[in-house]
Amino acid sequence: MNGQKVWTTLAHVSKWGMLLLRTDPELPKHKGMSYFVVDMQAPGVEVRPLRQITGEAEFNEVYFSDVRIPDAQLIGSRGDGWRVALTTLMNERVAIGSRTQARNTGAIADLVAVWLERGGDAEQRNRVTGLWAEAEVARLTNLRAAGNRATGTPGPEGSTAKLVYAELNKRIYDLATELMGPSGMLYDSYADSQPRPGDPESTDFRRRFLRSRANSIEGGTSEIMKNILGERVLGLPGEPRTDRDLPWSDIPRS
How far CA 227 is from CA of 89, 105, 116, 233, in Å, comes to: 15, 30, 38, 10
Using CA atoms, how far residue 214 sits from 111, 143, 176, 219, 242, in Å, is 19, 24, 17, 10, 31
Cβ count within 10 A of residue 222: 16
- Cα Rg of the chain, angstroms: 21
Active site residue 61: no
Identify the three-state secondary structure at position 27. Answer: coil
**Active-site hit among 92, 167, 178, 218:** 92
H-only helix segments in 66-121: 81-97, 107-118
CA 44/CA 56 separation, integer angstroms: 25
Catalytic residues: 92
